[in-house]
Structure 1
């Protein structure tokens, strides 16, 4: 995957024979829909257990509240564990092979969840589901960095991440429709939710073997001039677009010890944890407000649709101004206000107010998350370091899914004040991480400006070896 970049970087000359907007549209049309569908299926298959629960899963398998929470927890443990090894595998194999392969695996496991007969069977299935799904999101984020420059990144990340929002909407809609199959084949409706969505995942995975392009050089839909433009845009970002970098363990160590990765992990934790809480418990929360299970499924749809639209609009402005932290500050404020409204509504037994608060929280979370992951991907240079750093960033955040699985306890129903309060605490921790990152990046940029290094001061090889630590490199704020 990096070999093509190796041949192009340093040799590219900007050309006036191409239209920038036209090339970006071509990339968006060929890449983003496929990535969005992959992530949509991923989000569906990890979150559909929440829909299955209110359709009778726990009762049929004779599960207690703590056992259901455990099935959610173990998924995130293996999910987080898989992310760094998976991104290293992505670097060794072609994206068109690795990403569809793990998708076939988790689609098969999702299908088999529809025939489990006990809590133990469901628990084992969720363990392996996490192990196979773990590599998709960090892999896709890394994959976009070999196509889009830093100034074009967040809008594209928001487009495919919004598939998660749409998945949330479809999850409720599909569960509502699929549950009508209750009794067919002597299977309960909740079983059909797993079976149909799992089979759909496998079918899409097989198609994606032929629809994922491995690099700009292999993109048949681009002319030579357009390929040159893509490589030129990447090279302008500096060492973020690497030459034929060979694997060394020092790149892995550099990612694990970089201050920005360590701080950013808490920012990611603060966002992905509440997102998982919403995806896993939103139907239950709405159901416990007094709505029927059918209405609860349908009432999730406007929340996710609004969140997707908001995420794309904000991402467009963020890319236009090449700015991340100011948008994150505002979005964290929106999330905090949303949680306060949610808790006030729950405490006062006002279902409408609680629903409004969750609505605001979801819009803030699903908008902030693409900004958060784009910000760290923008500021990691060196292809192996970037791949590992993104996996660490996303993986640590996904451990939050294991925590929130136990935040919303059955004994706290229907108010769930403990769960909302703990989620709010994580958001406040994340806001502190954003402040630290912003100040740290400002300090590094200021020091490098004072040193006054220019591109000609260091050789390309020296710049590459230093990655984002090169004195010529500037962090995005």
Structure 2
């Protein structure tokens, strides 16, 4: 497991003494370079860190997970609505249905990066609440459409307003928790997607009994009721969602201080606040990790959307009618939820996020190989479990892995948004791979999803290798910076930058700082 060298004196001492010839006076100067303490006058002796962590969990994770449950429920409920006659009532073909699925992903991917910048610039309680309220309205209106054009318009607007939630909350949580704590919270948050898969099937089956009430068919009531719940949740979120650690109202001043200090000790140097500068965004764009992780997340997210949008149809084509097909999807999602949280817990406790990701993708790949080869309904249903248990844990694990290896508040927000955005645009592709003419076994669709998983595997291995190589260079001192008054005579290190102090080097370079260690 990779670790972070969080002691600035240790890192500087290593930078200042690359050989035994380094004189003792220079070493002495190195030990007096310290990171500025956040709120140095605040007494934190009465703060119990474990109790504080539980307090953060209860105030942050449950409500945000509920919001994501509504988000995923709203975007994928069209798959359940399809089983209750939506295509026939709107007089749309299978191809038009696929286009309606696809159009959601273009604004969803397009607005994720600017949304994360807005989230940082504005208060999360304001921005996230607004997004939820707006997409709840769009969801409700989706149940009132009477033609294909109306469905396309509401799907586009739904994607626009939903774009900011998932990357925003993942970035937001990374601003509260240490790197070794974030994975489990990200997994619990994302597991709401698996719960929504199970709950969506049960809810759709229940709402189908409202068919004909108010002159509306069952599929319309699915959209209307789920949309109204989201509108209410968005309205009350303004008072429930907290802002960032340095101004959280549910914490005392000593508790806020502890939260920020423990993040800074974990080499999240920007935890006390950071001013928006264009170069932070350029740092994300110029970082090779951003582009490789975009491909890595594409391999998992492309598979996710194909799976979640078409699971009811896949089970339905195995010989089950609408309601049994929805109900049979419930245990699949329950198991996926449990494994998502388990993988997050193990990764936080023992590290090795990359190797866990490889294991998950291998399980998912095995499931799709069986789906391609099987012509037996029971065997295919078993393979669906394998697929879910591989795809869902990998999604949350990749996001935690990406976040763990990016420092700088704005840089991390942009990087996460770019990675998630690129993954989501592949939802536009994977939502078209299950064609009506491929019923009942969908061999082509399963093959394309398997290719996505293969991309994820290749990128996982590549990322591990490159991170280990970079960590090794830092251990050898090849990335050490020049610190004024400490190691000015080391001319061969000048290419890595010259700084007045270690704190300046950390602030300016972020995860490029020589003492930062990447998580593999």
- The TM-score bracket by the shorter chain reads over 0.9
For residues 244-323 of structure 1, what are the structure 2 equivalents within 5 Å?
244-323=273-352
Matched, 1:363 2:363: no
CA distance in 1, matches of 2:289, 2:226: 38
What's the offset of the Cα at 1:322?
A: 2.8
Is the 1:106–1:132 contact (alpha carbons within 8 Å) kept by the matching residues of 2? yes
Matched, 1:209 2:238: yes
| TM-score, normalising length: structure 1 | 0.95
Match of 2:407 in 1: 381
Deviation per residue, 1:143-193 (Å, 9 max, x gap): 001110101000000111100000001111110001110000000010000
SS in 2 for 1:241: helix
Matched, 1:471 2:514: yes
Matched, 1:90 2:100: no
Counterpart pick for 1:192 among 198, 221, 228: 221
Matched, 1:446 2:446: no
What's the offset of the Cα at 1:261?
A: 0.9
Counterpart pick for 2:62 among 33, 37, 41: 33
What's the offset of the Cα at 1:14?
A: 9.8
Deviation per residue, 1:441-465 (Å, 9 max, x gap): 1111111111174998643122211
CA distance in 2, matches of 1:220, 1:322: 32
Counterpart pick for 2:504 among 454, 458, 461: 461
Deviation per residue, 1:317-338 (Å, 9 max, x gap): 1101133112112111111111
CA distance in 1, matches of 2:386, 2:50: 33
Which has the higher mean CA deviation after the structures are superposed, 354-363 or 14-23? 14-23
CA distance in 1, matches of 2:58, 2:382: 35
Matched, 1:418 2:444: yes
Q: Which runs of 5+ in 2 are unaligned?
A: 1-34, 487-500
CA distance in 1, matches of 2:178, 2:510: 16
Q: Structure 1 residues 8 and 83, CA, compared in 2 at 3 Å: closer, same or farther? A: farther
Matched, 1:437 2:480: no
What's the offset of the Cα at 1:359?
A: 1.0
SS in 1 for 2:329: helix
Is the 1:108–1:199 contact (alpha carbons within 8 Å) kept by the matching residues of 2? yes
What's the offset of the Cα at 1:219?
A: 3.0
Counterpart pick for 2:128 among 86, 99, 104: 99
Match of 1:428 in 2: 454
Q: Structure 1 residues 292 and 409, CA, compared in 2 at 3 Å: closer, same or farther? A: same
Q: CA RMSD in A?
A: 1.9
Is the 1:155–1:316 contact (alpha carbons within 8 Å) kept by the matching residues of 2? yes
CA distance in 2, matches of 1:88, 1:259: 21
Matched, 1:233 2:259: no
What's the offset of the Cα at 1:7?
A: 10
Is the 2:301–2:426 contact (alpha carbons within 8 Å) kept by the matching residues of 1? yes
Aligned residue-pair number: 469
Deviation per residue, 1:220-278 (Å, 9 max, x gap): 43333332221122101224534442222222222122111101111111111111112
For residues 69-218 of structure 1, what are the structure 2 equivalents within 5 Å?
69-218=98-247
Matched, 1:398 2:424: yes
CA distance in 2, matches of 1:323, 1:225: 33
What's the offset of the Cα at 1:51?
A: 0.3
SS in 1 for 2:457: helix
CA distance in 1, matches of 2:452, 2:385: 18
Match of 1:3 in 2: none
CA distance in 2, matches of 1:249, 1:289: 53
Match of 2:16 in 1: none
Match of 2:71 in 1: 42
Is the 1:454–1:472 contact (alpha carbons within 8 Å) kept by the matching residues of 2? no
CA distance in 2, matches of 1:238, 1:253: 21
Is the 2:139–2:226 contact (alpha carbons within 8 Å) kept by the matching residues of 1? yes
Match of 1:372 in 2: 398
What's the offset of the Cα at 1:406?
A: 1.0
| TM-score, normalising length: structure 2 | 0.87
SS in 1 for 2:96: helix
List, as ranges, runs of 4+ consecutive aligned residues in structure 1 with deviation greater than 6 Å. Answer: 454-457
